[in-house]
Amino acid sequence: MDESQIQESRRMRLADAVNKLAEGNVASFGRLLGYRGGAFVRQMLLGRRAISDKTVRRIESLRGMRGWFSPALAHAQEDAAPAYDYGAGPEVYQLYPVQLRVRTGIAGYTVVPDESDEDAPLSLHRHWLARRGYRPTRLLALRMAAAGMEPALHVGDVFVLDTAETTLRDGQVFAINFYGEVLVRRVQRDGDGWWLVADNLDQARYPRKACAGPDCVPIGRVVFKQGENI
């Protein structure tokens, strides 16, 4: 596991820890760690600050958190309690738009803040999440940067990505690490292979692309959008 994958795994465990100990309140969790507020914790969750071994040890020193970042323990806990406890967190989960940095052939990614967040955050009620089985800590909000998926997704639309869903499903829209670029496309099964297809009718500008091998890595499925085009 390379450093980017280690940091991504730690971010996911950190997000779960915030929900477990502070009901999703980043500021409260920061104070548990001895910070004045939640600024440092938020930066770690967004990928702007690395989660150091020292921070891991500090979190695992809290009551009930021993071994929290241990992959073996995390796997055992998921096997023992596969259902997410939606009642443990806040009524409404807020997602701030982010950007993803990816590398060719690498399954992991780095999360960086989206500075154009004038309409942030996007709020999702826990009952809505529960009915669909989405875990808040596995969701990312991104902003559509290109016109390839119009009219389904317009430039500037904010969409929610479920990073727990990386198995391609025919007809669904996924974010893909395609040769080191985050590409949002509808996936289609054709014979024995998968294809990335744009909704935009300008197929000359947005041709379909074969999705195969280590250079086409699913990041997650698009499960929600916020837009102004009707």
Has residue 7 been placed in a domain?
A: yes
- Domain of 209 in residue numbering reads as 110-226
Which CATH number do you get for residue 14? 1.10.260
Main-chain phi, psi angles of 28, to 5 degrees: -65, -40
Number of domains in the chain: 2
Task: Please tell me whether residues 78 and 117 are part of one structural domain.
Answer: no
Task: Please tell me whether residues 69 and 131 are part of one structural domain.
Answer: no
Has residue 198 been placed in a domain?
A: yes
Has residue 184 been placed in a domain?
A: yes
Say what the pTM is.
0.66
| pLDDT at residue 82 tops 60 | no
In the chain, which ranges are continuous DSSP H helix?
A: 3-22, 26-32, 39-46, 53-60, 71-80, 126-132
Task: Please tell me whether residues 215 and 139 are part of one structural domain.
Answer: yes
8 Å CB contact between 29 and 17: yes
Alpha carbon distance 56, 206 (integer Å): 44
| pLDDT at residue 2 tops 50 | yes
Radius of gyration in angstroms for the set of CA atoms belonging to the chain, rounded to a whole number: 18
Q: Return the percentage of the chain with pLDDT > 90, whole number.
A: 44
Has residue 88 been placed in a domain?
A: no
Identify residue 37 by its one-letter amino acid code: G
Last residue in a domain, options 35, 62, 82: 82
Render pLDDT for 23-70 as a digit per residue (tens, 0 to 9).
778 888 888 887 877 888 989 998 889 999 889 988 988 877 888 887
Alpha carbon distance 89, 181 (integer Å): 34
Task: Please tell me whether residues 118 and 219 are part of one structural domain.
Answer: yes
